Amino acid sequence: MTGTVWHTVGAAPDAESLRQAIRQRVEAAGTSFYWAMRLLSRERRDGMYAIYAFCREVDDIADEVSDAGVARRAGRALSAAPR
């Protein structure tokens, strides 16, 4: 997989650690979305970062996995992750 947020912060991150890991994931993507989202209020920005990071992760799974069964299982595991 792509080094998901869970792998960067540990098994049970606190809320601030999780927010930072998600922000870093978005920033590392190197798109203009990161800078555009910085204009939002913190609450909205954190929510948008989380959505964007999730979409990037799903996209990376689709790009890296050629076996459709493996991709489906990875997608189910990601969607079952604690929120």
Average pLDDT for residues 59-64, to the nearest whole number?
A: 79
DSSP string, the chain: ----HHHHH-SS--HHHHHHHHHHHHHHTT-HHHHHHTTS-HHHHHHHHHHHHHHHHHHHHHHH---HHHHHHHHHHHHTS--
Higher per-residue confidence, 1 vs 49: 49
Q: Which amino acid is residue 58, in one-letter code?
A: V
pLDDT tens readout for residues 12-61? 678 888 888 888 888 888 888 888 888 999 999 999 999 988 888 888 87
- The model's pTM: 0.59
